Amino acid sequence: MSGSGSPASDPTPTPTQTATPSSSPTGPCADGTCEIEVAVGDVVTVPETYGLGPIEVTAISGDGVEMVAPLTGSGYSVSRCSGGGGVSSEGGGGVSLRCDEGPAATINDAMSLKVVEIRDTAAVLRIEPAG
């Protein structure tokens, strides 16, 4: 019997991806303006100037979207969207938000977040600079 019975190995080494902090975010919302369909577990990266790290969608219901995000600044404010969270003196911490379909919320006086539409297990978010 020839062969060892083990699967053939690919001679090309697989490149390993390292999580290097990047000064410029990537993804459809990286420039600060996008309209994107999201599902639970999706992560949306926004510019650091918005005061939030990557926003993770944690739940979608018939009338709203729940999200969590780390804070990148030393303060936090939200209007027209229910949100809460904490900030440490070092600027760390995180927030959780629940935004309903309808008027846009303003976050940190820098970012506008609107739940445009809710579909069964997905939602469409519009993110753009506030004002």
Q: Which residues contact 29 (CB under 8 A, 6 or more apart)?
A: 36, 44, 45, 46, 127
Distance of alpha carbon 79 from alpha carbon 62, whole angstroms: 21
pLDDT of residue 96: 85
Q: Which residue has the higher pLDDT, 94 or 15?
A: 94
Q: Give me the residues paired with residue 21 across strands.
A: none
Statement: residue 22 has pLDDT above 50: no
Write down the pLDDT at residue 18: 41
Determine the pLDDT at residue 126.
96
Q: Residue 89: what pLDDT?
A: 36
* pLDDT tens per residue, range 23-50: 456 789 999 999 999 999 999 999 989 9
Q: Render pLDDT for 75-129 as a digit per residue (tens, 0 to 9).
A: 778 887 765 544 433 445 788 888 988 888 898 899 999 999 999 899 999 999 9
59-84 average pLDDT score: 81
Q: Distance between terminal CA atoms of the chain?
A: 74
